[in-house]
Chain A
Amino acid sequence: MSATGMLAVFAAAVPPELARSLDLGGYTWKGVASTDEAAEHEPADGWQAAVVEIGDDAEAAWSFLRSLRQHAAGVTKVLLLVPGARLGDLELRDDLFDDFCLSPFHPAELEARLRHLVWSSGDHLVAIADLVEYGELVLNLETYQATIAKRPLDLTYMEYELLKFLAQNPGKVFTREILLSRVWGYEYYGGARTVDVHVRRLRAKLGEEHAGLIATVRSVGYRFGQSRWSS
């Protein structure tokens, strides 16, 4: 067994300068072009880290990361390579990566960041279920179960995903378009009103007492929990 585990490099074709830097740094790595390939080549103890370039097909990269997070939250550390012009894409996606490096990258910087990331994913990992809590609402991200005041909530997958996204960003106001793109992805045919439909369902399932957790912000969108600007 090598000193470090295996790295996945998500790219249609791994750029030569990246390959060189990884080789020089002494990493064992494998290029994967899709989620399926990553699953197929995954080592028994999981990918230790993933290097993902936000390139022309950014959606594919985000979708890969979402799968990775679902599959191996807390196990695989993620380093993004992102062009300066696309830094805005990182906003509200903090859950999808651990660190990033501007591309084109400086080999010394890449090496330093990777070394730190791999160190921090060392064997002092403790398996703690990922919990999101807000007041009486608890979401267990590992088991996909949600409870309110200890009562289990029966949610559809999209209801769960919407609640999770909102609960992870309390106090922020989101437009319907943002929620649709971040929770559903762009390909959904249900349109922006779908968000209203799901909010309405979530409120019904949370029950009267807790329905107010999701507030409607007139002519803007929705906010979970208290506004950060009011008491």
Chain B
Amino acid sequence: MLDQHRDYVLRTVEERGVRLVRLWFTDVLGNLKSFAISPAELENALEDGMTFDGSSIDGFSRIQEADVLAVPDPDTFELIPWGEPGAAEARVFCDIHSLDGEPFEGDPRQVLRRQMREAHDDGYTFYIAPDIEFFYFETPTLGEPPVPLDHGGFFDLTTRDAAGDLRKDTIRKLEQMSIPVEYSFHEDAPSQHEIDLRHTDALTMADSVMTFRLVVKEVAASKGVHATFMPKPLAGVQGSGMHLHMSLFRGEENAFYDADDPHQLSPIAKAFTAGLLRHAAEITAITNQNVNSYKRLVPGFEAPVHISWARNNRSGLIRVPIAKKANPTATRIEYRSPDPTCNPYLAFSLILAAGMRGIREGYELPEEADANLFEMDDAALEKLGIEALPQSLSDSLKVMERSELVHETLGEHIFEWFLRNKRREWRDYKTQVSQFELDRYLRST
């Protein structure tokens, strides 16, 4: 099987005159990394992998064990639809191995592979469809506030819609790179846009999210515009989230669907949801990994604040959308806290691990919280047994640190490195004095 993949890749490079093959992989923080090789080296790379120095990559090797292997996954080989005409380029995602050939413990893609395999052993395939939000700004100058391109609102068809053309071009390039788009529209905030992708298995989707972020930024940059996935770039308007619609399938059957249940949710779906709710706080440091992520998770902007679920309540953490015409394959749950700066491999891994733990240990799904939680005070929430998500990066790191589920899923290497790196980020943030503090205290105290 693998031989044919290889032949296909090598032959395509030859037939299409590819001049450069980019080997892509992802660091622990979710940054896309790349190095280019010439077609002459490709056969060797497909066979044995390419050695490179991992110590320069965030969260990879320590200095004394620097070299690692990038092994291309030929299934992900694809021509890149931009760049110079007449000098085609291609990309291929890589799995990282240590020199002895074992999966490298610092590679997020291998973490997700492991989770997918475990779910597969239980008979399940995990599907995800993300709704990704982002802003277009004029090219930013350091120290200046961001300048939106327009002041349109939700679903607005703005006149002279420069951003609309950007979006159209982006979607065309996404489709060329095998990333099918379901919807795209102008979001609520000025210059904010949303593109919804169609479901694929979670590993393919994590690759797609990495490609997506690059395509959005590339297309914008080619028109002199800056695209950003920063969770909360403008105070007072909605931030950018990455809502994840998900389901488990057993073959062609949606394991989340049950025709006899009043909400059409199967016991599997309920136990998965229960698992995700119970471990939500523990995985928040990964799904919302920046200081700025927590400025989005505040009341009043359609971002979740409390750990709860409901069928059609956008203030909850998990929403169960009503499937069109009771379509069994469309039954799913929507996890609403992640933002688009997260590392998709690690975030999907932990979500799957939390849900599967719920299934394996038969967690009980708590009561649906269908009231508007933003309007309730703490006492009322406590009576319902509803807790809040961690309020800051520091809070979420403290919960993560004690989580056996996160430790086990990520493995010692990534777990330890991530905590260390993010504690440093929090310390750096704490040393800053913000405009808020100056405005509030400088004259009054």
A154 pairs with B8, CB closer than 8 A: no
CA distance A177 to B252 in the complex (A): 8
Is the pair A205, B7 in contact by a Cβ cutoff of 8 Å? no
Query: Chain B residues with Cβ under 8 A from A143's Cβ?
Result: 11, 15
Whether the Cβ atoms of B75 and A205 lie closer than 8 Å is no
Do the beta carbons of B4 and A66 come within 8 Å of each other?
yes
In the complex, whether A157 has a CB less than 8 A from a CB of chain B is yes
CA distance A189 to B75 in the complex (A): 13
Interface membership of A134, Cβ < 8 A: no
User: Which B residues touch A66, using CB under 8 A?
Assistant: 1, 4
Distance of A191 Cα from B252 Cα, bound (Å): 7
Within 8 A of B (CB), among A170-195: 176-177, 185, 189-194
- Encode B364-401 as 1/0 by CB contact (under 8 A) with A: 00000000000000000000000000000000000000
Establish whether residues B176 and A191, one from each chain, have CB atoms under 8 Å apart when the complex forms. no
The answer, yes or no, to whether B20 is at the interface (CB within 8 Å) is no
Known: A63-B1, A144-B8, A156-B77. A192 touches B249 (CB 8 A): yes
- What 0/1 pattern do residues 59 to 92 of B give for CB contact below 8 A with A? 0000000000000001111110100000000000
Are B75 and A156 touching (Cβ within 8 A)?
A: yes
Given the interface pairs A156-B77, A194-B201, the reply to whether A145 lies near B4 with Cβ below 8 Å is no
Q: Report which residue of B75, B76, B204, B252 has the largest number of chain A beta carbons within 10 angstroms of its beta carbon.
A: B252
CB within 8 Å for A157 and B4 given contacts A152-B16, A193-B249: yes
B116 on the interface (CB 8 Å rule)? yes
Q: How far is the CA of A156 from the CA of B177 in the complex (A)?
A: 9
Residues of A within 8 A of B199 (CB): 193, 197
User: Is B180 an interface residue, CB under 8 A from the partner?
Assistant: yes
Is B12 an interface residue, CB under 8 A from the partner? yes
B213 at the interface (CB under 8 A from A): no
> How many angstroms from the CA of A155 to the CA of B390 in the assembled complex?
43
Q: Which residues of A contact B78 (CB under 8 A)?
A: 154, 156
- Size category, B interface: 35 or more
Contact A70 to B125, CB < 8 A, known contacts A192-B249, A197-B204 = no
Query: Once the chains are docked, how many angstroms separate the CA of A160 from the CA of B3?
Result: 15
| Inter-subunit contact B249/A200 (CB<8 Å) | no
Pick the most buried of B1, B76, B117, B198: most chain A CB atoms within 10 A of its CB. B1
CB of A226 within 8 A of chain B? no
Residues facing A in B1-38 (CB within 8 A) are 1, 3-5, 7-9, 11-12, 15-16
Q: Is A42 an interface residue (CB 8 A)?
A: no
A156, B120: Cβ atoms closer than 8 Å: no
B444 at the interface (CB under 8 A from A): no
A67 interface contact, C-beta 8 A: yes
Q: CA of A201 to CA of B208 in the docked complex: distance in angstroms?
A: 13
Question: Interface range on chain A: under 10, 10 to 19, 20 to 34, or 35 or more?
Answer: 20 to 34
Asked if A154 and B79 sit within 8 Å, CB to CB, the answer is: yes
Residue in A158, A191, A204, A205 whose beta carbon sits within 8 Å of that of B125 in the complex: A191
Q: Using CB atoms, name the residue of chain B closest to A191.
A: B125
Report if B175 contacts A (CB, 8 A).
yes
Contact of B178 among A152, A156, A176, A189 (CB under 8 A): A156
Q: Measured between alpha carbons, how far is A53 from B199 in the docked complex, in Å?
A: 41
Q: Measured between C-beta atoms, what is the minimum distance from B259 to chain A in Å?
A: 15
Q: How far is the CA of A152 from the CA of B79 in the complex (A)?
A: 12
User: Nearest-CB distance from B274 to chain A (Å)?
Assistant: 23
Q: Is the CB of B251 within 8 A of A189?
A: no
Residues from chain B with Cβ under 8 Å of A191 in the complex: 125, 127, 201, 249, 251
Interface 0/1 of B237-257, CB less than 8 Å to A? 000000000000101100000
Query: Contact at A192–B251, with CB atoms within 8 Å?
Result: yes
Q: Which residues of B contact A63 (CB under 8 A)?
A: 1
The yes or no answer to B184 lying at the interface (CB within 8 A) is no
A56 nearest CB across to chain B (Å): 20
B198:A177 contact, CB within 8 angstroms: no
Given A67-B4, A159-B178, A204-B175, A190:B204 Cβ within 8 A: yes
Indicate which residue in B176, B198, B200 contacts A154 across the interface (CB closer than 8 Å): B176
Known: A157-B9, A204-B180. 16 other contacts (CB 8 A): A70-B4, A144-B7, A144-B15, A145-B15, A145-B16, A152-B16, A154-B79, A157-B8, A158-B75, A189-B116, A191-B249, A193-B199, A194-B201, A197-B198, A201-B175, A204-B175
- Which A positions have Cβ atoms within 8 angstroms of B? 35, 63, 66-67, 70-71, 143-145, 152, 154, 156-160, 176-177, 185, 189-194, 197, 200-201, 204-205
Q: Which 3 A-B pairs have the closest CB atoms?
A: A191-B125, A204-B175, A192-B252
